Structure 1
C-alpha cells in the first residue's frame, strides 16, 4: 500500500521518464510523504494548458521531447502506472532580488531539528547540481514549506533575515520542473522513477490518496527497495513506541 498522486500528461511521462525532477503544486501537498515512495496515477485528461506546456518542454529538451513525453506502449490512462522511489522535502518559492543567501551553518528554522534542516539543504543542492544550473538574473529563494508565512509577506521576511532560505534562480527551478509558471508554487524533488510492468486501473483523486499495487506489477528491484523502506519505517515506529 503506497501513497499516490494523480498527474496529467505531459507531466506524468516527463516525471516517470526521469526528465522532470521537481514536482510543483499550489500547496505543499507532498510534504507529508517526504522520505517515502510515491505511486503515480496517470489521469485521463491532459494538462489544461497542454499546448503551452509542450511549447516550453520543446524549448528545453529539443529533439529529446518525443522520448521524454512518451509512455511505454499499452500503458493506460486512468491507472496507476509508476512509482517514485524517493520524495524529498517540499519548498515554497519566494521571489526577491535583494534577499541574502544563507550558508548551511546559519540555516535554522524554529520547530525543526538542525539535522532535518541539513537534510533539506542536501536534497536541494543535490537536485540543483552545478551541471544543471544556468545563469539567470531573476533571483528567488526556496524556504521550507513547514515555515508558516503568507505569500504576501514571504519576500520581505526573507529579505530582512526573519526567514532563512536557499538562493537559486527562477530559471533553474523552471528548468528542473519543466514548467514555466512557477511563481507562488511549492516544489518537491522527486527521484528514482520507475514504470510499472502494467498499469493498475483505478479512479484518481485530488491530493495524496492511497493505493494497493500487486507485487507482480512492480519491477523486482523497485519492489525490494519499497519493502526495505517499509520495514525501516515499521522498525522506527516500534522503537518510538517502546521509548
Structure 2
C-alpha cells in the first residue's frame, strides 16, 4: 500500500530548509504549485546546489542564526544525500507578489522564503514539513510528477521530530494584506511533535 503524491525537485540548501521548517514560502516565476493547493507534496532533493549564497546571508544576518546553527541546519538537510525523495509538505495558497506590497510585508515574505527579489514572482505557502523515515531514490523531473510513498503503518504516517533547537529559531508571521493577484495568507499553525496524520491508501 502506498501514498501517491505530487513531487517537486528542490536544490540544496532549500530542500533541507523546507523540510526543517525554516523556509515556508516557495517562489517560482510561474504559478507551478497553484493546482496543488490543499494537497501533500513530496520534496525531491536535486543533484545540483542552488547557485549563489544569498541564502547564507539571509540565515545569518536576517534570521539571526549563528555559524554553528547554520552548519547544523545544513548537515540536517543533507542527511539523505542527493537524488532522493526526502519528505513531505502541505501546499497552501499561491499568489503573485505585486510591486504594491508594503515594504514591511515584503521583508517578512523574504524571511519566509529565505530569498530576496520576490516582486512579480508567484509565491506558495508551505506548511507541516516532515522527513520520511527512509529516503526514496528517484531521478528528478521537470515540474511536478507523481511518486508512491510506501512508508505506511495502519494508514498513518507519523511526523518525525526535527532537531529540537530548530523550533527555537525566529519565526516569521505574515500580515494578511491584499496583493494585486491573490491575498497573502497567514502562516499555518506549526504541527505538534509526533502528530499522526491520516492518509488514504492507493489501490
Residue equivalent to 1:67: 72
Residue equivalent to 1:202: 138
Distance 1:204 1:219 in 2: 26
Distance 1:41 1:93 in 2: 25
TM-score (norm 2): 0.70
- Greater alpha carbon shift after TM alignment, 205-214 vs 32-41: 205-214
Gaps of 5+ in 2: 160-194
TM-score (norm 1): 0.59
Distance 1:212 1:73 in 2: 22
Q: 1:73 to 1:172 in 2, by over 3 A?
A: closer
Indicate yes or no: 2:180 matched with 1:175: no
Residue of structure 1 aligned with 2:158, choices 221, 236, 241: 221
Could you say which structure has the larger radius of gyration? 1
Gaps of 5+ in 1: 98-138, 141-167, 232-243
Distance 1:202 1:42 in 2: 9
Kindly state the Cα deviation for residue 225 of structure 1 after the two structures are TM-superposed: 2.3
Alignment of 1:22-101 (within 5 A): 22-49=25-52, 51-61=53-63, 62-63=65-66, 64-71=69-76, 74-84=79-89, 86-96=90-100
Distance 2:25 2:125 in 1: 5
Does the residue aligned with 1:96 lie in a helix, a strand or coil?
coil
Distance 1:44 1:211 in 2: 18
Q: 1:77 to 1:224 in 2, by over 3 A?
A: same
Q: 1:72 to 1:13 in 2, by over 3 A?
A: closer
Give the structure with the larger helix fraction.
1
Number of equivalenced pairs = 160
Deviations 1:23-48 (A, max 9, x none): 11111111111001110000111002
Deviations 1:165-224 (A, max 9, x none): xxx621111011111121221111111100111110111112111111212599832496
Give the structure with the larger strand fraction.
2
Residue equivalent to 1:15: 18
